[in-house]
Structure 1
Amino acid sequence: MPRRRGKFIPPPSELSRVLEHLNTGPRLALNGLRRISLTLAARNDHMGARHFVKEELPRIRWANPLLDIEVNKVQKKREDVLKPEALLEFQDGTKSTIDMSNKWSTTIAKELMDLAGGDPWKAYKAATLAAGQPLLPGEEKERLASLAKSRKTNSASKNQPQSQQGTNEELEAKVREMLNAPDRPKTGARAMLP
Protein backbone atom coordinates (compact mmCIF):
# COMPACT_ATOMS: atom_id res chain seq x y z
CA MET A 1 0.00 0.00 0.00
CA PRO A 2 1.51 3.35 -1.00
CA ARG A 3 2.07 6.03 1.58
CA ARG A 4 -0.33 8.90 1.74
CA ARG A 5 0.75 12.47 1.84
CA GLY A 6 0.82 14.04 5.26
CA LYS A 7 1.38 10.75 7.03
CA PHE A 8 3.95 10.53 9.78
CA ILE A 9 7.10 8.63 8.80
CA PRO A 10 8.46 6.80 11.83
CA PRO A 11 12.11 7.27 12.84
CA PRO A 12 14.61 4.45 12.38
CA SER A 13 13.97 1.48 14.62
CA GLU A 14 16.20 0.58 17.56
CA LEU A 15 17.46 -2.46 15.67
CA SER A 16 18.55 -0.38 12.68
CA ARG A 17 20.45 1.99 15.02
CA VAL A 18 22.19 -0.94 16.74
CA LEU A 19 23.17 -2.46 13.38
CA GLU A 20 24.45 0.90 12.18
CA HIS A 21 26.65 1.15 15.29
CA LEU A 22 27.94 -2.42 14.89
CA ASN A 23 28.79 -1.90 11.22
CA THR A 24 30.48 1.46 11.72
CA GLY A 25 33.94 1.41 10.17
CA PRO A 26 36.56 0.22 10.69
CA ARG A 27 35.75 -3.45 11.20
CA LEU A 28 37.50 -4.50 14.42
CA ALA A 29 38.55 -7.99 13.31
CA LEU A 30 41.26 -9.56 15.50
CA ASN A 31 43.74 -12.09 14.08
CA GLY A 32 45.31 -14.89 16.08
CA LEU A 33 43.53 -14.01 19.31
CA ARG A 34 41.88 -16.78 21.32
CA ARG A 35 40.59 -14.96 24.40
CA ILE A 36 40.10 -11.52 25.96
CA SER A 37 39.55 -11.23 29.71
CA LEU A 38 38.65 -7.78 31.05
CA THR A 39 38.73 -6.81 34.73
CA LEU A 40 37.26 -3.48 35.85
CA ALA A 41 35.15 -1.84 38.52
CA ALA A 42 31.41 -2.30 38.25
CA ARG A 43 30.71 1.37 38.96
CA ASN A 44 32.13 4.74 40.05
CA ASP A 45 35.59 4.12 38.65
CA HIS A 46 37.44 3.11 35.47
CA MET A 47 35.33 5.24 33.12
CA GLY A 48 37.39 4.56 30.01
CA ALA A 49 37.29 0.80 30.54
CA ARG A 50 33.53 0.85 31.16
CA HIS A 51 32.97 2.93 28.02
CA PHE A 52 35.15 0.47 26.10
CA VAL A 53 32.89 -2.39 27.25
CA LYS A 54 29.79 -0.42 26.26
CA GLU A 55 30.93 1.11 22.95
CA GLU A 56 33.77 -0.91 21.42
CA LEU A 57 33.33 -4.44 22.79
CA PRO A 58 30.00 -5.06 20.97
CA ARG A 59 31.70 -4.09 17.69
CA ILE A 60 34.58 -6.48 18.50
CA ARG A 61 32.09 -9.28 19.28
CA TRP A 62 30.22 -8.56 16.02
CA ALA A 63 33.43 -8.83 13.97
CA ASN A 64 34.79 -11.86 15.91
CA PRO A 65 31.88 -14.18 16.78
CA LEU A 66 34.14 -17.11 17.79
CA LEU A 67 36.35 -15.06 20.14
CA ASP A 68 36.05 -15.94 23.84
CA ILE A 69 35.35 -12.68 25.70
CA GLU A 70 35.09 -12.52 29.48
CA VAL A 71 34.20 -9.34 31.38
CA ASN A 72 34.74 -9.34 35.15
CA LYS A 73 33.03 -6.37 36.80
CA VAL A 74 34.22 -6.25 40.40
CA GLN A 75 32.32 -4.54 43.21
CA LYS A 76 34.97 -2.12 44.46
CA LYS A 77 35.00 -0.17 47.70
CA ARG A 78 36.71 3.19 48.08
CA GLU A 79 39.65 1.79 49.98
CA ASP A 80 40.19 -1.06 47.47
CA VAL A 81 42.87 -0.67 44.84
CA LEU A 82 41.85 -2.26 41.56
CA LYS A 83 43.71 -1.78 38.31
CA PRO A 84 41.56 -2.20 35.18
CA GLU A 85 43.26 -4.41 32.62
CA ALA A 86 42.66 -6.57 29.59
CA LEU A 87 44.43 -9.91 29.40
CA LEU A 88 44.89 -11.15 25.82
CA GLU A 89 45.61 -14.78 25.09
CA PHE A 90 46.82 -15.56 21.55
CA GLN A 91 46.46 -18.80 19.55
CA ASP A 92 50.18 -19.55 19.92
CA GLY A 93 49.90 -19.48 23.74
CA THR A 94 51.49 -16.08 24.34
CA LYS A 95 49.76 -13.60 26.63
CA SER A 96 49.74 -9.83 26.72
CA THR A 97 48.18 -7.28 29.06
CA ILE A 98 46.70 -3.87 28.28
CA ASP A 99 46.52 -1.42 31.18
CA MET A 100 43.18 0.40 30.85
CA SER A 101 43.56 2.88 33.73
CA ASN A 102 43.07 6.56 32.86
CA LYS A 103 42.57 5.87 29.15
CA TRP A 104 39.77 6.67 26.74
CA SER A 105 37.82 3.80 25.21
CA THR A 106 39.20 4.69 21.77
CA THR A 107 42.77 4.52 23.11
CA ILE A 108 42.11 1.06 24.54
CA ALA A 109 40.60 -0.09 21.24
CA LYS A 110 43.59 1.26 19.28
CA GLU A 111 46.03 -0.55 21.59
CA LEU A 112 44.07 -3.79 21.20
CA MET A 113 43.98 -3.45 17.44
CA ASP A 114 47.72 -2.65 17.32
CA LEU A 115 48.40 -5.92 19.17
CA ALA A 116 45.96 -8.21 17.34
CA GLY A 117 44.59 -6.32 14.33
CA GLY A 118 47.07 -7.76 11.87
CA ASP A 119 47.80 -6.49 8.38
CA PRO A 120 44.27 -5.17 7.59
CA TRP A 121 44.45 -2.88 10.65
CA LYS A 122 47.95 -1.67 9.74
CA ALA A 123 46.83 -0.84 6.19
CA TYR A 124 43.70 0.94 7.44
CA LYS A 125 45.71 2.84 10.04
CA ALA A 126 48.32 4.00 7.51
CA ALA A 127 45.67 5.14 5.01
CA THR A 128 43.60 6.94 7.65
CA LEU A 129 46.56 8.72 9.23
CA ALA A 130 47.79 9.77 5.78
CA ALA A 131 44.37 11.28 5.09
CA GLY A 132 44.40 13.06 8.47
CA GLN A 133 41.19 11.39 9.63
CA PRO A 134 40.48 9.91 13.08
CA LEU A 135 41.06 6.14 13.34
CA LEU A 136 37.91 5.32 15.32
CA PRO A 137 34.56 7.06 15.75
CA GLY A 138 34.63 9.19 18.89
CA GLU A 139 38.36 9.86 18.74
CA GLU A 140 37.66 13.55 18.07
CA LYS A 141 36.23 13.88 21.59
CA GLU A 142 39.42 12.39 23.01
CA ARG A 143 41.53 14.93 21.13
CA LEU A 144 39.33 17.83 22.23
CA ALA A 145 39.47 16.69 25.86
CA SER A 146 43.25 16.41 25.78
CA LEU A 147 43.39 19.87 24.21
CA ALA A 148 41.12 21.30 26.94
CA LYS A 149 43.21 19.61 29.62
CA SER A 150 46.45 21.02 28.22
CA ARG A 151 44.89 24.49 27.95
CA LYS A 152 43.70 24.28 31.55
CA THR A 153 47.14 23.30 32.85
CA ASN A 154 48.81 25.94 30.68
CA SER A 155 46.48 28.70 31.85
CA ALA A 156 47.10 27.65 35.46
CA SER A 157 50.78 28.51 35.14
CA LYS A 158 51.20 32.27 35.57
CA ASN A 159 54.51 32.56 33.73
CA GLN A 160 53.27 31.22 30.42
CA PRO A 161 55.34 32.55 27.50
CA GLN A 162 53.59 34.30 24.64
CA SER A 163 54.89 31.75 22.12
CA GLN A 164 53.15 28.91 23.97
CA GLN A 165 49.83 30.78 23.82
CA GLY A 166 50.17 30.87 20.05
CA THR A 167 50.77 27.14 19.85
CA ASN A 168 47.60 26.48 21.86
CA GLU A 169 45.60 28.60 19.43
CA GLU A 170 47.20 26.80 16.47
CA LEU A 171 46.40 23.43 18.00
CA GLU A 172 42.80 24.45 18.63
CA ALA A 173 42.49 25.64 15.02
CA LYS A 174 43.84 22.31 13.77
CA VAL A 175 41.36 20.36 15.88
CA ARG A 176 38.50 22.57 14.66
CA GLU A 177 39.64 22.06 11.07
CA MET A 178 39.88 18.32 11.64
CA LEU A 179 36.32 18.22 12.94
CA ASN A 180 35.12 20.51 10.14
CA ALA A 181 33.39 22.57 12.78
CA PRO A 182 32.86 26.20 11.84
CA ASP A 183 33.89 28.87 14.33
CA ARG A 184 30.97 29.77 16.51
CA PRO A 185 30.15 33.45 16.78
CA LYS A 186 30.78 35.01 20.15
CA THR A 187 27.63 35.53 22.16
CA GLY A 188 26.78 36.97 25.54
CA ALA A 189 29.72 38.21 27.63
CA ARG A 190 32.23 36.73 25.17
CA ALA A 191 30.97 39.11 22.50
CA MET A 192 32.03 42.07 24.64
CA LEU A 193 35.61 40.82 25.08
CA PRO A 194 38.29 41.26 22.42
Structure 2
Amino acid sequence: MELVQISEHVYRLTYETVVGIPIKINTWYVVDGGGVYLIDTGMEDYADTQLNAAKFLGAPKSILLTHGHLDHIDGAKYLKNNLNIPIYAHEAEIPFINGEKPYPNKAEKEITGVKHQVEGLSDNIIKTLPLDVYLTPGHTPGHVIYHHKSDNVLLTGDLFFSNAESLHPPIRKFTVSMGENINSGRIIDEIKPSIISSSHGEDVKYNNDLYSVYKFIYE
Protein backbone atom coordinates (compact mmCIF):
# COMPACT_ATOMS: atom_id res chain seq x y z
CA MET A 1 0.00 0.00 0.00
CA GLU A 2 1.40 3.37 -1.00
CA LEU A 3 0.36 7.00 -0.48
CA VAL A 4 1.90 9.25 -3.15
CA GLN A 5 1.61 12.99 -3.70
CA ILE A 6 0.96 13.38 -7.43
CA SER A 7 0.57 17.18 -7.46
CA GLU A 8 0.52 20.08 -5.03
CA HIS A 9 -2.98 19.30 -3.75
CA VAL A 10 -3.69 15.71 -4.86
CA TYR A 11 -2.59 12.46 -3.23
CA ARG A 12 -3.15 8.91 -4.48
CA LEU A 13 -3.46 5.83 -2.26
CA THR A 14 -2.74 2.57 -4.10
CA TYR A 15 -3.22 -1.01 -2.98
CA GLU A 16 -3.78 -4.38 -4.60
CA THR A 17 -6.69 -6.68 -3.81
CA VAL A 18 -8.77 -9.42 -5.42
CA VAL A 19 -12.18 -8.50 -6.85
CA GLY A 20 -12.81 -11.60 -8.95
CA ILE A 21 -9.28 -11.05 -10.31
CA PRO A 22 -6.18 -9.44 -8.75
CA ILE A 23 -6.50 -5.73 -9.33
CA LYS A 24 -4.81 -2.46 -8.36
CA ILE A 25 -7.15 0.09 -6.77
CA ASN A 26 -6.41 3.81 -6.55
CA THR A 27 -8.32 6.28 -4.41
CA TRP A 28 -7.49 9.96 -3.96
CA TYR A 29 -7.33 12.79 -1.45
CA VAL A 30 -7.65 16.40 -2.50
CA VAL A 31 -6.30 18.89 0.02
CA ASP A 32 -7.92 22.32 0.11
CA GLY A 33 -6.61 24.60 2.83
CA GLY A 34 -7.00 22.63 6.03
CA GLY A 35 -9.65 20.34 4.57
CA VAL A 36 -9.41 17.14 2.57
CA TYR A 37 -11.87 15.52 0.16
CA LEU A 38 -11.88 11.76 -0.36
CA ILE A 39 -12.45 10.58 -3.95
CA ASP A 40 -13.82 7.00 -3.89
CA THR A 41 -13.34 4.67 -0.93
CA GLY A 42 -12.10 1.35 -2.27
CA MET A 43 -12.85 -1.88 -0.43
CA GLU A 44 -13.98 -2.02 3.20
CA ASP A 45 -10.94 -4.09 4.21
CA TYR A 46 -8.79 -1.01 3.62
CA ALA A 47 -11.18 1.60 4.99
CA ASP A 48 -9.21 2.10 8.21
CA THR A 49 -6.11 2.94 6.17
CA GLN A 50 -8.21 5.35 4.11
CA LEU A 51 -9.43 6.99 7.28
CA ASN A 52 -5.91 7.40 8.70
CA ALA A 53 -4.61 8.84 5.42
CA ALA A 54 -7.45 11.36 5.28
CA LYS A 55 -6.88 12.50 8.87
CA PHE A 56 -3.14 12.75 8.26
CA LEU A 57 -3.72 15.14 5.35
CA GLY A 58 -6.34 17.39 6.94
CA ALA A 59 -9.88 17.66 8.25
CA PRO A 60 -12.07 15.34 6.11
CA LYS A 61 -14.91 17.27 4.44
CA SER A 62 -16.77 14.79 2.23
CA ILE A 63 -16.58 11.63 0.16
CA LEU A 64 -17.00 12.12 -3.60
CA LEU A 65 -17.78 9.01 -5.63
CA THR A 66 -17.00 8.44 -9.29
CA HIS A 67 -19.72 5.73 -9.33
CA GLY A 68 -21.33 3.03 -7.22
CA HIS A 69 -19.46 -0.17 -8.03
CA LEU A 70 -18.25 -2.14 -5.03
CA ASP A 71 -14.54 -1.43 -5.46
CA HIS A 72 -15.30 2.30 -5.31
CA ILE A 73 -17.93 2.43 -2.57
CA ASP A 74 -17.38 -0.56 -0.27
CA GLY A 75 -15.49 1.47 2.34
CA ALA A 76 -18.00 4.34 2.36
CA LYS A 77 -20.11 3.05 5.26
CA TYR A 78 -17.09 2.71 7.56
CA LEU A 79 -15.70 6.10 6.59
CA LYS A 80 -19.01 7.91 6.90
CA ASN A 81 -19.67 6.38 10.32
CA ASN A 82 -16.21 7.23 11.64
CA LEU A 83 -15.77 10.65 10.05
CA ASN A 84 -19.40 11.86 10.09
CA ILE A 85 -19.11 13.43 6.65
CA PRO A 86 -21.50 13.44 3.67
CA ILE A 87 -21.16 11.25 0.59
CA TYR A 88 -21.92 12.59 -2.88
CA ALA A 89 -22.45 11.01 -6.30
CA HIS A 90 -24.13 12.05 -9.51
CA GLU A 91 -27.92 12.04 -9.27
CA ALA A 92 -28.16 9.43 -12.05
CA GLU A 93 -26.09 6.99 -9.99
CA ILE A 94 -28.10 7.19 -6.77
CA PRO A 95 -30.92 4.73 -7.67
CA PHE A 96 -28.28 2.04 -8.22
CA ILE A 97 -26.42 2.93 -5.02
CA ASN A 98 -29.72 2.75 -3.13
CA GLY A 99 -30.47 -0.69 -4.56
CA GLU A 100 -33.71 0.60 -6.07
CA LYS A 101 -32.82 -1.04 -9.38
CA PRO A 102 -29.88 -3.01 -10.79
CA TYR A 103 -27.39 -1.54 -13.22
CA PRO A 104 -28.66 -2.18 -16.78
CA ASN A 105 -25.99 -4.85 -17.38
CA LYS A 106 -26.50 -6.68 -14.08
CA ALA A 107 -29.21 -9.02 -12.82
CA GLU A 108 -28.80 -8.22 -9.14
CA LYS A 109 -29.07 -4.93 -7.28
CA GLU A 110 -26.04 -3.44 -5.54
CA ILE A 111 -25.57 -3.81 -1.80
CA THR A 112 -23.47 -0.75 -0.96
CA GLY A 113 -24.02 -0.35 2.79
CA VAL A 114 -24.93 3.32 2.27
CA LYS A 115 -28.46 2.95 0.96
CA HIS A 116 -30.25 6.35 1.09
CA GLN A 117 -27.14 7.97 2.59
CA VAL A 118 -25.63 9.36 -0.62
CA GLU A 119 -26.61 12.85 -1.79
CA GLY A 120 -26.73 14.16 -5.33
CA LEU A 121 -23.94 16.36 -6.69
CA SER A 122 -26.10 19.45 -7.11
CA ASP A 123 -24.75 22.65 -8.62
CA ASN A 124 -24.74 24.22 -5.16
CA ILE A 125 -22.58 21.40 -3.79
CA ILE A 126 -20.20 21.47 -6.76
CA LYS A 127 -19.66 25.22 -6.25
CA THR A 128 -18.19 24.46 -2.81
CA LEU A 129 -15.67 21.91 -4.11
CA PRO A 130 -12.06 22.51 -5.17
CA LEU A 131 -12.84 20.36 -8.21
CA ASP A 132 -14.79 20.51 -11.45
CA VAL A 133 -17.15 17.59 -12.07
CA TYR A 134 -17.90 16.05 -15.47
CA LEU A 135 -20.54 13.45 -16.25
CA THR A 136 -18.95 10.63 -18.31
CA PRO A 137 -21.62 7.93 -18.77
CA GLY A 138 -20.97 4.54 -20.27
CA HIS A 139 -19.25 2.49 -17.61
CA THR A 140 -22.28 3.34 -15.47
CA PRO A 141 -25.11 5.80 -16.20
CA GLY A 142 -23.95 8.32 -13.58
CA HIS A 143 -20.18 7.91 -13.77
CA VAL A 144 -18.29 11.17 -13.17
CA ILE A 145 -14.69 12.36 -13.22
CA TYR A 146 -13.08 15.12 -11.15
CA HIS A 147 -10.67 17.79 -12.40
CA HIS A 148 -8.42 19.79 -10.09
CA LYS A 149 -8.05 22.87 -12.24
CA SER A 150 -5.08 24.60 -10.60
CA ASP A 151 -3.03 21.38 -10.50
CA ASN A 152 -4.52 20.28 -13.84
CA VAL A 153 -4.95 16.71 -12.57
CA LEU A 154 -7.86 14.59 -13.81
CA LEU A 155 -9.19 11.78 -11.62
CA THR A 156 -11.00 9.48 -14.02
CA GLY A 157 -12.42 6.58 -12.00
CA ASP A 158 -13.24 3.73 -14.40
CA LEU A 159 -13.52 5.87 -17.53
CA PHE A 160 -10.17 4.28 -18.41
CA PHE A 161 -7.76 1.67 -17.17
CA SER A 162 -4.19 2.86 -17.71
CA ASN A 163 -0.51 2.18 -17.77
CA ALA A 164 2.24 4.78 -17.79
CA GLU A 165 1.94 5.47 -21.52
CA SER A 166 -1.55 4.53 -22.72
CA LEU A 167 -5.25 4.27 -21.94
CA HIS A 168 -7.43 1.17 -22.09
CA PRO A 169 -11.17 0.60 -21.63
CA PRO A 170 -12.65 -0.71 -18.38
CA ILE A 171 -13.68 -4.35 -18.02
CA ARG A 172 -16.47 -4.97 -20.52
CA LYS A 173 -18.65 -7.19 -18.32
CA PHE A 174 -18.92 -4.41 -15.73
CA THR A 175 -19.58 -1.68 -18.31
CA VAL A 176 -23.13 -0.69 -19.28
CA SER A 177 -22.22 0.68 -22.73
CA MET A 178 -18.66 0.44 -24.01
CA GLY A 179 -19.45 2.65 -27.01
CA GLU A 180 -20.79 5.41 -24.78
CA ASN A 181 -17.85 4.99 -22.42
CA ILE A 182 -15.33 5.37 -25.26
CA ASN A 183 -17.19 8.43 -26.51
CA SER A 184 -17.13 9.95 -23.01
CA GLY A 185 -13.36 9.62 -23.00
CA ARG A 186 -13.04 12.44 -25.55
CA ILE A 187 -13.42 14.83 -22.60
CA ILE A 188 -9.66 14.59 -22.03
CA ASP A 189 -9.07 16.48 -25.28
CA GLU A 190 -11.26 19.30 -24.00
CA ILE A 191 -9.67 19.48 -20.55
CA LYS A 192 -6.09 18.63 -21.62
CA PRO A 193 -4.96 17.67 -18.12
CA SER A 194 -1.29 17.37 -17.25
CA ILE A 195 -1.92 14.08 -15.45
CA ILE A 196 -4.66 11.48 -15.88
CA SER A 197 -5.05 9.26 -12.82
CA SER A 198 -7.37 6.26 -13.17
CA SER A 199 -8.79 3.98 -10.50
CA HIS A 200 -6.98 0.97 -11.91
CA GLY A 201 -3.48 1.49 -13.22
CA GLU A 202 -0.70 4.04 -13.38
CA ASP A 203 -0.84 7.79 -13.88
CA VAL A 204 -0.53 8.94 -17.50
CA LYS A 205 0.83 12.22 -18.85
CA TYR A 206 -1.58 13.71 -21.36
CA ASN A 207 -0.59 14.20 -24.98
CA ASN A 208 -2.60 15.18 -28.05
CA ASP A 209 -2.57 11.65 -29.49
CA LEU A 210 -3.59 9.81 -26.31
CA TYR A 211 -7.35 9.72 -26.91
CA SER A 212 -7.21 9.33 -30.70
CA VAL A 213 -5.01 6.22 -30.36
CA TYR A 214 -7.28 4.82 -27.64
CA LYS A 215 -10.38 5.45 -29.78
CA PHE A 216 -8.79 3.93 -32.89
CA ILE A 217 -7.82 0.72 -31.09
CA TYR A 218 -10.93 0.12 -29.03
CA GLU A 219 -13.91 1.68 -30.79
TM over 0.5: no
Q: TM-score, normalised by structure 2?
A: 0.29
Q: Which protein has the larger Cα radius of gyration, Structure 1 or Structure 2?
A: 1
More strand by share: 2
TM-score by length of structure 1 reads 0.31
Task: Write 1 or 2 for the structure with the bigger share of helix.
Answer: 1
